[in-house]
Structure 1
Amino acid sequence: MVTLSSSPLPPLPIVDGVAPSYLWLPVGDWPNLLTFLEQRFPAIDSATWIARMERGEVVDGKGARLKPDSPYRRGSCIFYYRELEAETPIPFEETILYQDDRILVADKPHFLPVIPTGRFLHETLLVRLKKKTGLANLTPIHRLDRETAGVVIFSHDIASRGAYQSLFQQRVVDKVYEALAPTLPDLARRLPLVYRSRMVDGTPFFRMQEVAGEPNSETRIELIEQRAETSLYRLRPLTGRKHQLRVHLAALGIPIVNDAFYPDAHPCKGDDFSTPLKLLARAIGFQDPLSGRQHYFESGRAL
């Protein structure tokens, strides 16, 4: 689970639930903006960028329209809309668990990304919720992997967003996950246990790996029930490293059912929705930093 930071205030409106993307122009020497965009995004041809500019869909931080021959100014921020020619519908629905004047809590299905990325734009939790609610300032304050289902908290009030983000930074949020993984009798007799390790970026780039050194990740693991060859485990991450739960269970010899990354990376399944990762963000609890109210939100899904 990863805490998210704020982004620049966009000068373009939300269109069909999609907010404009933004890009800080890096150090470099390009004769004009179009040349830079062609090199930065080789899959998008110049005609497409020119058409977007003519429609006023590429602007600077003040909302001024940019043209193909606009000078390249490193360090400035530009805004534009992402476009996808085709996007596969994800046939699972999210549920809104709670909403007040500051936050919204959703129950995310498997396979649905939290935010637009790569080949996903409209088929993301953020864009779906914006369309449903009309909340223009909706932003997730933490994140789940696309493969993981369960509880996600959003902020839709800019003024209070930092207060909720700080809860995750200070590790005062109680997070409970459930996972379906192999039954290992020798391990079951040792549970509950706390597993710690040092995790760093691995290879390929999308994986994490454990290395020797001071632990920077910690998970409490409990057994809920045995189901013959598989068991249901309760996981309480005390830190929030990328893929932490998946790495820890694989290291213990009980990789999560249908995990395509750990212990070994398997070929991408594309749009195959038949084998979801058996990992669920079951519940989140915390004390509201503004009202003092104790919140507890639980997913209605089951593994």
Structure 2
Amino acid sequence: MANQGWIYRDKISKNQAGLSLLAYYTGKYPHSSPEEWLDRILSGAILVNGRPACPDTVLEIGQQLTYQRPPWTEPDVPLFFEVLYEDAEVLVVAKPSGLPVLAGGGFLEHTLIHLVHQHYADVTPYPIHRLGRGTSGIVLMAKSKPARAKLSQQMREGKITKIYRALVGQGDIPDNFTINQAIGKIAHPILGYVYGALTDGLSARSDGRVLKKHPDSTLLEVQIFTGRPHQIRIHLAFFGYPLIGDPLYGLGGLPRPDAVPGDCGYYLHANQILFNHPSTGRIISISCQPPPELVNRLLAEVRQQATGNRQQKEE
């Protein structure tokens, strides 16, 4: 079933003034081709200050652009979430792998925030942080503006602890490790740019430890001290141990040109979060069990190892 469509709004800044209408959209939103943007402008789907405009219209500071995207059918995703903790100001939920947190990349209603807003008609919970589409687990939300302000401040100051479970390949991984590697924007043929390991990017730190080694994989616990986009995926790939099934980040922490961040298949789970309640100040600690796909994979490896051990004894 198609969604209701969406109106995208932009305001022209000083740096964007002087561009043509077509150049603005093709430069800022490269996920669509220049031909597609041209068709939208000519059809009247894009307005400048509420009026149709030509592709070569020169834009001025402060002008309001609107693009009326018609209804479209969104990709299928798991449309559910679990409430882990709730009070008058805070909501903590768990999302499945495959469900985006916010709208974007072809998703509007098939998102966690849309599902939550449908469930909570009298309030508007706001996510304090994000998870990648393929990442499962905990998302912290505020149910009031004061709570949002205080929790966001904790996030900026690094006072919210976020701990993950990550599955990587087998290898000589140190039992405990720290990854300090900057992350920044890297040119990408599909989206214009994506984030990756970059010398002159923003500083980022992740600490990890080995929880369990299996025949074909290693289960890690990873804590992040900064919240850069796709930080764990990039850091572990840079460290030499990319997430199993990650279609975007390989060795070195650089993005592959034929994949995008929303592609799934990797095993990463937001397992635990600790924060101070925005009103009482008391420490709230919430944990979330790993999803079935991660548990089943590990169980399969344990059974495989047990079968191999029995065969060796029989020989």
For residue 196 of structure 2, what is the amino acid of its counterpart? M
Matched, 1:117 2:113: no
Q: Judging changes above 3 Å, is the alpha-carbon distance between structure 1 residues 43 and 164 closer, same or farther for their aligned structure 2 residues?
A: farther
- How many aligned positions are there? 265
- The residue number in structure 1 matching 2:197 is 209
Partners of 1:95 and 1:78 lie apart in 2 by 38
Q: Judging changes above 3 Å, is the alpha-carbon distance between structure 1 residues 29 and 194 closer, same or farther for their aligned structure 2 residues?
A: closer
Q: Which runs of 5+ in 2 are unaligned?
A: 26-36, 54-58, 295-315
For each residue in 1:104-147, what CA deviation from the matched residue of structure 2 results, as whole angstroms up to 9, or x when unmatched? Answer: 21111111111111210011111111112215533211111112
Q: Judging changes above 3 Å, is the alpha-carbon distance between structure 1 residues 121 and 38 closer, same or farther for their aligned structure 2 residues?
A: farther
Could you tell me which of 155, 175, 184 is aligned with 1:191? 175
Calculate the aligned-residue CA RMSD, in Å: 3.5
Matched, 1:141 2:137: no
Could you tell me which of 228, 234, 241 is aligned with 1:241? 228
Percent identical among aligned pairs is 23
Deviation of 1:283 after TM superposition, in Å, equals 1.0
Matched, 1:289 2:278: yes
Q: Is 1:17–1:131's contact at 8 Å kept on the other side of the alignment? A: no
Partners of 1:216 and 1:227 lie apart in 2 by 32
- The residue number in structure 2 matching 1:154 is 141
Q: What does 1:53-68 align with in structure 2 at a 5 Å threshold? A: 66=50, 68=52
Q: Judging changes above 3 Å, is the alpha-carbon distance between structure 1 residues 83 and 114 closer, same or farther for their aligned structure 2 residues?
A: farther
Q: What does 1:44-193 align with in structure 2 at a 5 Å threshold? A: 44=40, 47=43, 49=45, 66=50, 68=52, 74-75=61-62, 83-91=70-78, 93-135=80-122, 137-184=124-171, 186-187=172-173, 190-193=174-177
Structure with more helix by fraction: 2
Partners of 1:125 and 1:214 lie apart in 2 by 29
Deviation of 1:93 after TM superposition, in Å, equals 2.4
Give the TM-score normalised by structure 1.
Answer: 0.74
Deviation of 1:159 after TM superposition, in Å, equals 3.2
Please give the secondary structure, in 1, of the residue aligned with 2:242: coil
Deviation of 1:287 after TM superposition, in Å, equals 1.2
Matched, 1:224 2:211: yes
For each residue in 1:81-117, what CA deviation from the matched residue of structure 2 results, as whole angstroms up to 9, or x when unmatched? Answer: 7544211221352212222222221111111111111
Could you tell me which of 258, 264, 289 is aligned with 1:267? 258
Q: Which runs of 5+ in 1 are unaligned?
A: 1-15, 61-65
For each residue in 1:131-168, what CA deviation from the matched residue of structure 2 results, as whole angstroms up to 9, or x when unmatched? Answer: 12215533211111112111111223123321110111
Deviation of 1:47 after TM superposition, in Å, equals 5.0
Partners of 2:85 and 2:4 lie apart in 1 by 20
Deviation of 1:269 after TM superposition, in Å, equals 8.6
